[in-house]
């Protein structure tokens, strides 16, 4: 019961933090839609083209937009000493990593999920694909948040090159893109592709707490 | 309660501090003195178990600290040299977050009373980013009251504070010690408040 209370209080803090930084979330969404418009202007208005390319464009932009927010993942809490405070208040580094990952999913990825129907209309992604797109995004976004946690915690150890984290996320995102777009475009093997994506999700869930937790610990020791 | 014996810490083949021992028990105020870069913050981080000493042992209530960490962390408040308040939120919102995160039972009337003494009550609705460095430091020190733990560990608590507030904090330390609490803090200058022990780094 005490643990559950602690979790709720942690998310209350995250909610307040994200609400005060709402303009960042809005900027990400704006970036996402402006990029869609740029694609539309550069490719042209032919609907048929988008029925082939739409899902790929959507997933690429979702990936790029969500990496925009990665710098904020741990950086602010690390710089103002709140990570240390949370640790001294009974939150292990591994638990902080797990909670922050879900916080990123809720406050950064869910707004993207809500904007998918509008983006689908703009890119002529049919209604029949919308359900599959939502499933693939739900799984893919959780994987991206886990990868984001690892890369952002690694960034705390490397203050000279912030872009390195984003590059790491992008490299590891290639299989996610392949399977996520596959889920939507390939009519057969839907269940097996979802299974593969779920497998990748479980692997990142298993690795994330230990990898991120170790990086957070070293970063606090070196600070 | 807290016993550190012959602590030595080396980093990158450099000795940060050597053979430092402290014994912190109820009613004691210990000051860590030393010049800038003498290792005061590093020593505090070591007794917080954030850094592992190269040699020496730390005990909490008679047990090795690493084996009694949960109880130790449940009994301490750490005020770092940096401010932990969230700058884009108001003073009130920060207090509300602290109250929740530290599961504090202190009521808002009592908090407002302390804020009045610290001349911070008028800033309750103001964003922390609009406060002066001294006011932010005073807000940070409010956490000692909100958390209400036995051991207070403070890193340079008097930076940016005026003499009146330093005396007030000194008085608070004494009151805390009378209630079976204890305090260890670092300072590179003499804060002119009564202490029970002095450790030079």
Count CA within 13 A, CB hemisphere, residue B144. 29
Stated pTM of the model: 0.89
The owner of tokens 């899902």 is A55
Chain B 17-36, residues with CB within 8 Å of chain A CB atoms: none
In order of A16, A46, A124, the CA distances from B76 in angstroms are 25, 65, 58
Model ipTM value? 0.89
Residue A100 pLDDT exceeds 90: yes
* DSSP collapsed to 3 states, A45-79: CCHHHHHHHHHHHHHHHHHHHHHHCHHHCCHHHHH
Tell me which chain A residue has its CA closest to the CA of residue B42.
Answer: A221
Domain boundaries, chain A: 2-222
* Phi and psi, residue B109, nearest 5°: -60, -45
The total of other beta-carbon atoms located within 10 Å of residue A79's CB is 12
* Phi and psi, residue B160, nearest 5°: 70, 10
Task: Decide if A80 and B78 are in contact by the 8 Å CB cutoff.
Answer: no
Tokens, residue B193: 């408040």
Can you tell me the mean pLDDT for A192-216?
93
The answer to whether residue A1 neighbours chain B at the CB level (below 8 Å) is: no
Task: Decide if B97 and A85 are in contact by the 8 Å CB cutoff.
Answer: no
Tens place of pLDDT for every residue, chain B, 201 residues? 889 999 999 988 888 888 999 999 888 999 998 888 888 999 999 999 999 999 999 999 989 998 889 899 999 999 998 888 888 899 999 999 999 888 888 888 888 888 888 888 889 889 999 999 989 998 988 888 888 899 999 998 888 888 888 888 888 999 999 888 999 999 877 777 788 888 888
Contact list in A for residue B51 (CB cut-off 8 A) is 221
């Amino acid at each position: 019961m005490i643990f559950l209370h602690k979790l709720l209080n942690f998310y209350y803090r995250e909610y307040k933090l994200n609400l005060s930084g709402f303009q960042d979330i809005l900027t990400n969404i704006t970036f996402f839609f402006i990029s869609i418009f740029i694609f539309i202007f550069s490719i042209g208005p032919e609907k048929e083209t988008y029925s082939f390319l739409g899902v790929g464009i959507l997933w690429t932009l979702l990936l790029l937009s969500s990496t925009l927010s990665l710098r904020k993942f741990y950086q602010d809490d690390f710089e103002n000493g709140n990570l240390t405070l949370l640790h001294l208040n009974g939150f292990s580094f591994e638990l902080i990593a797990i909670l922050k990952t879900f916080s990123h999913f809720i406050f950064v990825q869910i707004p993207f999920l809500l904007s998918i129907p509008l983006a689908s209309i703009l890119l002529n992604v049919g209604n029949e694909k919308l359900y599959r797109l939502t499933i693939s995004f739900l799984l893919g976004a959780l994987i991206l948040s886990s990868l984001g946690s690892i890369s952002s915690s690694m960034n705390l150890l490397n203050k000279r090159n912030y872009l390195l984290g984003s590059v790491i996320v992008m490299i590891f995102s290639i299989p996610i893109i392949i399977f996520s777009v596959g889920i939507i475009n390939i009519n057969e093997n839907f269940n097996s592709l979802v299974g593969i994506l779920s497998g990748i999700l479980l692997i990142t869930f298993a690795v994330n707490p230990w990898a991120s937790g170790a990086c957070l610990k070293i970063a606090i020791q070196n600070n | 309660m807290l016993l550190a014996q012959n602590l030595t810490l080396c980093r990158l083949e450099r000795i940060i501090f050597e053979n430092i021992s402290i014994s912190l028990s109820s009613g004691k105020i210990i000051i860590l003195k030393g010049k800038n870069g003498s290792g005061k913050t590093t020593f505090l981080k070591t007794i917080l178990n954030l850094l592992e000493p190269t040699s020496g042992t730390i005990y909490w209530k008679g047990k090795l600290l690493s084996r009694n960490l949960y109880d130790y962390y449940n009994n301490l408040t750490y005020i770092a040299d940096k401010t932990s308040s969230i700058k884009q939120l108001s003073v009130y919102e920060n207090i509300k977050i602290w109250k929740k995160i530290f599961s504090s039972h202190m009521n808002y009337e009592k908090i407002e009373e302390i804020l009045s003494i610290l001349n911070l009550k008028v800033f309750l609705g103001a964003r922390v980013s609009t406060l002066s460095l001294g006011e932010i430091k005073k807000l940070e020190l409010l956490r000692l009251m909100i958390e209400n733990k036995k051991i207070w560990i403070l890193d340079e608590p008097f930076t940016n504070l005026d003499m009146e507030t330093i005396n007030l904090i000194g008085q608070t330390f004494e009151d805390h010690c009378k209630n079976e609490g204890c305090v260890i803090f670092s300072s590179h200058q003499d804060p002119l408040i009564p202490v029970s022990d002095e450790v030079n780094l």
